[in-house]
Chain A
Amino acid sequence: MTPLISLAGVEKYYGDYHALRDLTLEIGAGEFFSLLGPSGCGKTTLLRTIAGFETPSSGSLRIDGRDMTGVPANRRPTNMVFQSYAIFPHLSVAENVGFGLRRAAGSRAEKMKKVEEALEMVGLSGFGKRAAHALSGGQRQRVALARALILKPKVLLLDEPMSALDKKLREQMQGELRRLQRQVGITFILVTHDQEEALIMSDRIAVMFDGRIAQLDTPQRLYRAPVNRQVAEFIGMMNFLPGELRREDGRFVASIRGLGTIPLPEEQVPTGAGPGPAQFGLRPESLSVVFGSEALPTGCFSDGTVAERAYYGDMTYYDIALSDGAAPITCSMRNLVSRPVLERGTKVRLAWEPGALCIFPG
């Protein structure tokens, strides 16, 4: 894969504040790439650096093989959808969408046709004459998308585009954005603090903390094998259980408080990890309550009591207090008709998959 965008050793300082720390990154053509992290982690700064609104303090940025040093935003092959959408309030929808075509070749009629096509692509046919300020949030986002895509950029940059939308609309737009990306085949770079959104939409995700990339991976790898506790805490829900990693007869063995001692296959232990205290991560869906009428799942078993429960409709989350007095462990169960929703205080048997254990040494 020849990278479309490559960053090498990019640093950014604002006075004493170190916003980006030695970022090296390659993004391929046609990829849906997400920058995920909490606010202040530098993800927006990175996006704005690619767009040309920020200049790196050091390091290099290349887009499509061209060095971008000194190339202003208006001459980069990137277009951006802003968090506020930045719809020009003094222009109509069509004027907004056609804003960037002023310098493009072609007659007025051709440009108007392009605008109409772009509006059709985002599902806003016939909206051209409307005033921009009369649009709803979702419509504004579509206009911003059409306005950026009409210029056929090599890269589309999206700065938290869904954060202003309500949940239902957000879910709908996530699907549409993904469809649009496949349709136009342009590289999309999405900045978001919503891990679910990143997981749903991306081919690859870079998780950022404090101006650094903590992990760069596919959504599945990121969820299944977070490299450290910080990433694991940020993505999805996870139980952290203190324990010890030991070596017995040349094999790794985990001794976990509340869950007992189990042997671990070599490939599950992170490279470089040695015997010593460790945190063991287990996601709620890797644990299940054993209901009497159901076939016994495979795995390990522990006994406990329901300490708390949260009913979500499709799922119930149980906090199970394990018998040896360790902190309660969270377990999620799909609510099948045949399963009762357990009350607090119910004694239960817990089954869990040892293969799902994440190991964080130290």
Chain B
Amino acid sequence: MAGATQRSEAATGLALVAPPLVYAVALLAVPMAVIVLFSFWTQDYLDLDTTLTLDNYREAWTDPIYRELMARSVYISGVVTLITVVLAFPVAYYISFHVAPERKALWIFLVTIPFWTSYLVRIFLWKVILGFNGVLNTSLIGIGLIDAPLTVILYNLNAVVIALAHAFAPFAILPIFVALERIDRSLLEAARDLGETARSAFVRVTLPLAMPGVVAASLIVFIPTIGDYITPRLVGGPGGLMIANMIQTQFLRLNNAPMGATLAVLAMLIVSGIALLFVLANRRFLKRRG
């Protein structure tokens, strides 16, 4: 009797998770498996050679172009992550510690306003701001700070960093805000009571307790930015291209899906590796707490 009930409960459970499971397998696992499979095949002009081989990986690893794009992607993502998290922290801190409790929701809502516009539109706005005759240059010339328009701010790596850091700011602010909200304020009073100044209490208590949020923010920014291709494509110029642009080129222009798949798999592995190292480096902050 009990066994029958259990079985039927298990069956109900399975029935309930089945649709999302099918969805996840169809849209995530299958494409991923196909990409991995493709990466072991090769393209022979118009034909697909389905012999399993590591040739693509060998080429991807030795060709300086791929290497440079990959290194540049990691570098850009790293810089974007650093800038975003460093700038997001004070915003999250301000909302958590200095905004009246009843207005916090409003502030968080305001933080998400950039999402109301399409990302493409926002990128084009950056072009308007950073361009040769853009808002920034004309303003700076107008107030006499520079004589000629700056060219280092558009169609290069810097422009990509600026646009991405702006786009991902809300993603970084939210987890840090949540971590800060979870800090029992009496801990800060206890630190003051035990002789710490406001600043040293921040370093000894607030910062370590906010680290889970900082780690989450870093991963949330780092992982998607490495694969971004719209931003480098539109504001990066030739010097700001990233690995995703090459993947797109392999798939769509060079008709070399296997090579594109190989680069995609490698990018994924590198991101996973770096993310894992990052989490391990911060594991003492991520321990479960009572």
Report the stretch among B89-97, B101-109, B191-199 that lies at the interface.
B191-199
- In B267-290, the 8 Å CB interface with A consists of 285, 287-290
Binds A, one of B10-18, B46-54, B163-171, B181-189: B181-189
The 7 closest A-B pairs by CB, nearest first: A133-B290, A100-B194, A86-B190, A86-B186, A89-B289, A73-B192, A133-B289
Contact at A147–B194, with CB atoms within 8 Å? yes
User: Interface code B204-230, partner A: CB below 8 Å = 1, 0 otherwise?
Assistant: 110011000000000000000000000
Contact B187 A88 (CB under 8 A): yes
Contact A82 B190 (CB under 8 A): yes
Name the contact of B285 in the complex, choosing from A84, A88, A90 (C-beta under 8 A). A90
Please tell me which one of the listed residues B186, B196, B288, B289 contacts residue A84 in the complex, with CB atoms under 8 A apart. Answer: B186
Nearest opposing residue in chain B for A134, CB measure: B290
Chain A residues in contact with chain B, CB under 8 A?
A: 51-53, 72-75, 78-80, 82-84, 86, 88-90, 99-100, 102-103, 131, 133-135, 147-148, 151
Extra contacts, 5 of them, besides A88-B191, A134-B290 (Cβ < 8 A), are A53-B189, A74-B195, A82-B189, A84-B184, A133-B289
- Shortest B204–chain A CB gap in Å is 8
B194→A151 contact, CB < 8 A: yes
| Cβ–Cβ < 8 Å partners of A100 in chain B | 194-195
How many angstroms between the C-alpha atoms of A133 and B204 in the bound complex?
17
| Chain B residue at minimum C-beta to C-beta distance from A79 | B193
Within 8 A of A (CB), among B239-290: 285, 287-290
Q: How distant is B238 from chain A, measured CB to nearest CB, in Å?
A: 47
Instruction: Give Cα A74 to B191, complex, Å.
Output: 8
Q: Knowing A51-B193, A80-B193, A147-B194 are in contact, say whether A89-B186 is a contact too (CB < 8 A).
A: no
Residue of A nearest to B194 (CB): A100
The answer on a CB contact under 8 Å between B189 and A74 is no
- Report how far A89 CA is from B192 CA in the complex, Å: 16
Q: Please, which residues of chain A bring their CB within 8 A of the CB of B287?
A: 131
Cβ of B187: which chain A residues have Cβ within 8 Å of it?
Answer: 86, 88-89
Closest residue of chain A to B197 (Cβ to Cβ) is: A74
6 contacts between A and B (CB under 8 A): A73-B192, A78-B193, A82-B189, A86-B189, A88-B187, A148-B194
Instruction: Give bound CA distance, A80 to B191, whole Å.
Output: 10
Known A90-B209, A151-B195; contact A73-B285, beta-carbon cutoff 8 A: no
Check B289–A79 contact: CB distance below 8 A.
no
Judge whether A102 and B290 touch: CB under 8 Å.
no
Which of B189, B192, B195, B205 is the one whose CB lies under 8 Å from A88? B205
B184 & A86 in contact (Cβ 8 Å cutoff): yes
Given A86-B187, A88-B187, A90-B208, are A73 and B289 neighbors across the interface (CB < 8 Å)? no
CB-CB < 8 A to B193: which residues of A?
51-52, 73-74, 78-80, 148
Closest to B211 in A: A90
Residues from chain B with Cβ under 8 Å of A52 in the complex: 192-193
User: Smallest Cβ distance from B242 to chain A, in angstroms?
Assistant: 37
B209:A99 contact, CB within 8 angstroms: no
**In this complex, which of A52, A74, A131, A147 has the most chain B Cβ atoms within 10 angstroms of its Cβ?**
A74
Closest B residue, CB atoms, query A82:
B186
Measured in the bound complex, the distance between the Cα atoms of B184 and A75 in whole Å is 22
Residue of B nearest to A98 (CB): B194
Q: Which residues of chain B are within 8 angstroms of A133 by Cβ–Cβ distance?
A: 288-290
A49 to chain B, nearest CB (A): 13
The complex places the Cα of A207 from the Cα of B289 at a distance, in Å, of 38
**Interchain nearest-CB distance for B185 vs A (Å):** 9
A148 proximity list for chain B (CB < 8 A): 193-194
In the complex, chain A residues whose CB is within 8 Å of the CB of B289: 89-90, 133
Once bound together, how far apart are the Cα atoms of A191 and B223, in whole Å? Answer: 51
**A80 with B190: CB separation less than 8 A:** yes
Contact between chains at A99 and B189 (CB < 8 Å): no
Task: For the complex formed, measure the closest distance between the CB of A105 and the CB atoms of chain B, giving whole angstroms.
Answer: 13
Q: How far is the CA of A148 from the CA of B205 in the complex (A)?
A: 17
Q: Within the assembled complex, what's the spacing in Å between the Cα atoms of A144 and B221? A: 39
| A74-B196 in contact (CB<8A) | yes
Q: Which of A74, A79, A89 sits near B290, CB closer than 8 Å? A: A89
**When chains A and B are docked, how far (Å) is the Cα of A80 from the Cα of B205?**
17
Closest to B290 in A: A133
| Distance, CA A65 to CA B132, complexed state (A) | 68
Interface residues of B in 131-152 (CB under 8 A from A): none
Most buried by B among A51, A89, A102, A148: A89
Report chain A residues within 8 Å CB of B209.
89-90
CA gap between A51 and B187 in the complex, in Å? 14
Cα distance A100–B204 in the bound complex, in angstroms: 11
A140 nearest in chain B by CB position = B290
A269 CA to B290 CA in the complex, in Å?
56
The residue in B193, B285, B287 that gathers the most chain A C-beta atoms within 10 A of its C-beta is B193
